[in-house]
Structure 1
Amino acid sequence: MTAGSYNDSSIFPNPVYKEAVLRPLFDGAKDHHVEAFRRIDRAHLVMLHETGILTIEQARPIAQSLEAIDRELDVSALTYTGEVEDFFFLIEKELRTRLGPDLAGRLHTARSRNDIDHTLFKLGLKYRIDSLLERLVRLAETLASVAERENSTLIVAYTHGQPAQPTVFGHYLAAVLETLLRDITRLEAARDIVDRSPMGAAAITTSGFPINRDLMARLLGFSRPLQNSYGCIAAIDYVTSTYSAIELIFLHLGRFIQDLQFWTSFEVSQVYVPNAFVQISSIMPQKRNPVPIEHMRHLASQTVGRAQAMLTIMHNTPFTDMNDSEGESQGFGYGAFESGGRVLDLLTALVPALRINADRVRQNIRRSCITVTELADSLVRREGLSFREAHEIAAAVARAVVAIEGDIGIDGYKVFRESFEHCTGRPANINEDDFAKIVSPENFVAVRDRFGGPAPRALSQAIAAYNDETSGIRKRMQNAAQREQTSAHDLQSRFTALMGAQ
């Protein structure tokens, strides 16, 4: 082919345009939207007949031809030739071959590629959101189960990268779970926006034909039609809300994963990862590399990046139907579901396998004096001091114990007694046994029996509430799935009746 032939504007499609745009769009539709095209054609035909726009003599041969195309056309084997513009026109061409141009063309009455496209994209997103929600709920159930199992397992909680206070692993996991449930709620809200049918908007302003948009929505499994027809083809908030929710989910899970990376380091060694999730070094025999955590971290980052890219693609686009929100962008966004799903599957498998290294936790608690906050609190409650005065006494104890690399419960009482008398001018009422109990990590956790705290009663109440919330989410998912199944059955029944005896 000569260079000049690429500039020939008399024949559509230009070869470069064909390869750069039309072929990728056709392949994307072939890979992602064939079943949705099929459902839309069938539902629209049923609606056209049931509203009286098409007679049975017109609708029945169209239905029979659509069935024949589904049976005879191997979509996976198709190669784009440029003979038709896109997948939509391919089906119309197949109908014309079987029915002639007049009858075949009647299927497109009162619809446009605009409302068809956004309906395709919403059907594709709903399927992927539902799959992601199932994985998210499984993770939530897993986190709740492990949090309950680890409701008395001590760990070191960190702030600013430094040991801060003791808590229990179950309390930490419950915090991750609580955030995850809020993220799931955001994704559910996004799904509700996706679950509104654009069909019937046509190009922009609906149609002069007596279409039934509610029927179309029901037949396609949507909860209801999206009302404003301009918004149906212009308002891509169903895209932005979905990928905003996904971005936040994996941004938040990435922070949890980063903690696991830190806690499994040799120096901290708070979390033990079993051998099933550990790879060895090719050269260093002593190495235990918990690389699944690294894979989750970078996959979570990829998911955040893909979701964020979808928002960037939509930024500063006109409020109208436009290609930026359509085929190739939709296909690009699906990658976020794929990488995000891998993170959720791996995290759901890993979390139950994790174990806390109790000896190392004890050692780190001892070395860091992180129970000393409760000493200050106890001085306020038992000795009647102001918190600031109690804080100064506790700080003096911590400094002295850390300086000798001691154990606060064993080595701290002498300096405590001296510091107390120095600051208050009187002896403390707390004896040595009381002191040892006050600064124990078990006591630290046990007295924090407030709403949201780590003590057994408070934590058990929280986990029960999280389980109730998760059950509610799962129930809503089951109801949505049942509605989808009912709609699919209803569409098939009406379409089969429309075809009549074969």
Structure 2
Amino acid sequence: MATKRHVQEEGLQFPGKTYVEAVLEPAYNHAKQELLLPMIAVHKAHLIMLLEQRLLSQKDALNIAKALLSIDLEQLRLGNYNGQFEDLFFEVEHKLLKLSDDSSNNLHLARSRNDIGIAIYRITLRQKLLRTLSSALELNASLLTFAKKHIDTIFIAHTHTQQAQPTTIAHYIAAVSDSLARDVRRLQAAYANCNLSSLGAAALTTSGFDINRERVAELLAFDGLIENSYDAVSGADYVAEIVASIQLAAINLGRFVQELLLWCTQEFAVAKVASPYVQISSIMPQKRNPVSIEHIRSLLSSIAGTSQTVLTMIHNTPFGDIVDTEDDMQPYAWKGLDTLEVVYRLLSKVIDSLEINKDVLHRRAAASFATVTELADTLVREEGIPFRNAHKIVSILVSQAVEQSKGISDLSLQSLNEIAIHTIGAPLKLSREKLKLTLDPKHFVNIRKLRGGPSPSEITRALEDQQHRLHSLEQWLSERETYLATALAQLDAILSNWQYK
């Protein structure tokens, strides 16, 4: 550790204590955990390009390569901020100078902290994006497996928090899966806009040296360049798009999680969370609190809030290289992605072990008035009655039954005909058997075979399509992960090969 006297002799000055506490030390700690490996990778790629462009001598390039391959990263990760260097970047630069006998003085040729920093942030974020996407696909797989178990599990869906119509658990979960797939597509789009290279933009106007921006992008597995150099160091929408995507993903998933919690109440009695994901009460022996889902709900809310913090920090900032969009803001984006990633994994495990009370759901559906839409539809189809008249007849029938404290099983053909005569001036041709079938929730579901409906045949087709979609997404993810890993490993291979020539 540098002494105060040593620093003063070099013409440097210790930063203010409060500045260290509020800014420099937190940024240093974040950087050594999240940015160190991307920083070294950027140095390696830039070095390779400088030699290929003959902007460095082979002797200096070899010395720098040895330094980069031998630098003690673990020591840096375990280090503490001591004020000797402004930040981790300059500490690494100092170590490389010592390890390379000052050959690395020219490593900074044709670049700036500006374009380097943005590239490092983008590399960090793309890695976190891929991990988050991997966990999202894990959750999607769990949802599909769960849905396939419940193609015939009928339950009453709600609109406006009131009983609406019978559907199936599979139909409901397929909707959640489709929503999740849209979140995944948004994250894919955010990845595409993130995985572009700023390197070569230098401070903001590029360089007079004949560097090869495309080669550096290729070496670091970027998909292309941020072409305009001013945009490369000034744009912040790449991180804004990421947090906007995870914010919406958290909000979407939070709606489903809130319903899961309702399903777990004794009053709803729809679902039961497995023992590894519940906690007991300290005083009430009967309690099985689904706290895992409660934590998921609160963590999703925290993601929405953290994302908004990032967007607020970007709002009304100058269009240029600024710390507002760098050290202070980036950790919030990292936290949001990391939290969403682990929430996806946790919810996947909860879904894998979730039990559904099929008998209760079927009895509830059979005893409700949720099927009477089909009665109105049947009057239209088989009696030739305009829908509004059919709706009115059935509405009066249900209202009378409710006033008389009768259930759906008490609805009679006689009452229906009396209302029809009063409404349209004629009795119906409907039989008792047809009336009974019309009010059966299973029949209600089975005849809804239109694309997107809940019938077993249609939902089976939909789930197969979703499974194909998931497979395609998994292939895309695997290709991206392999591409990044191969490219970054190749950096070391190139540098190591230099030492044997």
**TM-score > 0.5, shorter chain as reference:** yes
CA–CA distance in 1 between the matches of 2:33 and 2:143? 35
Match of 2:67 in 1: 65
CA–CA distance in 2 between the matches of 1:91 and 1:339? 29
- Pairing 1:411-450 to 2, within 5 Å after superposition: 411-450=411-450
Pairing partner for 1:11 from 10, 13, 34: 13
Match of 1:50 in 2: 52
Judge conservation of contact 2:221–2:488 (CA < 8 Å) in 1.
yes
Match of 1:5 in 2: none
Judge conservation of contact 2:66–2:100 (CA < 8 Å) in 1.
no
User: SS of the residue aligned with 1:167?
Assistant: strand
Shift of 1:288: 2.7
CA–CA distance in 2 between the matches of 1:92 and 1:342? 34
Match of 1:269 in 2: 269
Judge conservation of contact 1:401–1:412 (CA < 8 Å) in 2.
no
Match of 1:4 in 2: none
User: SS of the residue aligned with 1:108?
Assistant: coil
1:271 counterpart letter in structure 2: A
Shift of 1:404: 4.3
1:131 counterpart letter in structure 2: R
CA–CA distance in 1 between the matches of 2:270 and 2:350? 15
Match of 1:190 in 2: 190
Shift of 1:12: 4.4
Match of 2:31 in 1: 29
Shift of 1:170: 0.3
CA–CA distance in 2 between the matches of 1:58 and 1:108? 13
- Pairing 1:202-351 to 2, within 5 Å after superposition: 202-351=202-351
Shift of 1:177: 0.6
Question: 1:166 and 2:166 equivalent?
Answer: yes
- CA change 1:302–1:432 in 2 (3 A) is same
User: SS of the residue aligned with 2:71?
Assistant: helix
- CA change 1:35–1:193 in 2 (3 A) is same
Query: Comparing 390-399 with 279-288, which one deviates more in the overlay?
Result: 279-288
- CA change 1:19–1:268 in 2 (3 A) is closer
User: SS of the residue aligned with 1:11?
Assistant: coil
Shift of 1:291: 2.0
Match of 1:38 in 2: 40
Match of 2:6 in 1: none
User: SS of the residue aligned with 2:375?
Assistant: helix
1:393 counterpart letter in structure 2: I
- CA change 1:46–1:293 in 2 (3 A) is same
CA–CA distance in 1 between the matches of 2:357 and 2:420? 35
User: SS of the residue aligned with 2:328?
Assistant: helix
1:112-134 CA-to-partner distances (Å, cap 9, x unmatched) read 11011111111110111000000
Match of 2:109 in 1: 109
Structure 2 unpaired stretches of 5+: 1-10
1:398-453 CA-to-partner distances (Å, cap 9, x unmatched) read 12333344432443434223222322222211111110000110111111110111
CA–CA distance in 1 between the matches of 2:118 and 2:199? 8
1:153-195 CA-to-partner distances (Å, cap 9, x unmatched) read 1011001111111100000001111111111000000000111
- CA change 1:95–1:358 in 2 (3 A) is closer
Aligned length: 491
- CA change 1:283–1:106 in 2 (3 A) is same
1:85 counterpart letter in structure 2: E
Query: Comparing 285-294 with 196-205, which one deviates more in the overlay?
Result: 285-294
- CA change 1:81–1:278 in 2 (3 A) is closer
CA–CA distance in 2 between the matches of 1:242 and 1:114? 21
User: SS of the residue aligned with 1:416?
Assistant: helix
Judge conservation of contact 1:171–1:453 (CA < 8 Å) in 2.
yes
- CA change 1:353–1:419 in 2 (3 A) is farther
Question: 1:89 and 2:93 equivalent?
Answer: no
- Pairing 1:133-148 to 2, within 5 Å after superposition: 133-148=133-148
1:36 counterpart letter in structure 2: P
- CA change 1:391–1:286 in 2 (3 A) is same
Query: Comparing 410-419 with 370-379, which one deviates more in the overlay?
Result: 410-419
Shift of 1:470: 1.5
CA–CA distance in 1 between the matches of 2:78 and 2:356? 53
The sequence identity of aligned pairs, in percent, is: 36
1:83 counterpart letter in structure 2: Q
- CA change 1:287–1:411 in 2 (3 A) is farther
CA–CA distance in 2 between the matches of 1:221 and 1:10? 38
Structure 1 unpaired stretches of 5+: 1-8
Question: 1:364 and 2:367 equivalent?
Answer: no
Judge conservation of contact 1:236–1:325 (CA < 8 Å) in 2.
yes
CA–CA distance in 2 between the matches of 1:404 and 1:345? 50
Question: 1:491 and 2:491 equivalent?
Answer: yes
